[in-house]
Amino acid sequence: EPEVTQTPSHQVTQMGQEVILRCVPISNHLYFYWYRQILGQKVEFLVSFYNNEISEKSEIFDDQFSVERPDGSNFTLKIRSTKLEDSAMYFCASTEDRLAGDTQYFGPGTRLTVL
C-alpha cells in the first residue's frame, strides 16, 4: 500500500541553524500538509500546499518557515533559524484531491530536537 515517507526520522540541530525536513507524499496525491506536535501537546496544523503554492497557513507558520516542492516527488519544510521551541515531531500528510472530507495520509514524522 502506498505511504507517505519522511526523512530523517530524527534531526538534532543547534539553535539558529537551518533545517530542512523532507517528505515524499503518495505519488498521485495533489494536496500536501505539514503538522507539528510538541511533546505532550496537540497536533497542530502548519501549512497546506496545492498547485505549487501555499493554500492555507496557521499563525505558527511565520517567516522562519517555508515549504517547497523542488521536484515531482519531494515536499520540504525549511526552518530558517531554529529556536528551542521548534523542537517537536513534524508530520507530513497528503490527500489525493481537494474533495471535501478527503482522507489525509500521514507520514511517520521527523523528530526535531533543537539544542
95 beta partners:
31
Question: Least Å distance between CB 98 and other proteins?
Answer: 4
Question: Least Å distance between CB 14 and other proteins?
Answer: 25
Cell 492555507, residue? 56
Q: Does 95 bind other proteins (CB under 8 A)?
A: yes
Give me Rg for the CA atoms of the chain. Answer: 13
Angle at 28 between CA 91 and CA 36, to 5 degrees: 10
Q: Does 45 bind other proteins (CB under 8 A)?
A: yes
Q: Does 43 bind other proteins (CB under 8 A)?
A: yes
If 0-12 CB within 10 Å is exposed, 13-18 middle and 19+ buried, where does residue 108 land?
middle
Q: Does 21 bind other proteins (CB under 8 A)?
A: no
For other proteins, give the closer residue by CB, 79 or 92: 92
**Residues of the shown chain interacting with other proteins in the complex, contacts defined by CB under 8 A:** 4, 31, 33, 35, 41-45, 48, 56, 58, 91, 93, 95, 97-109
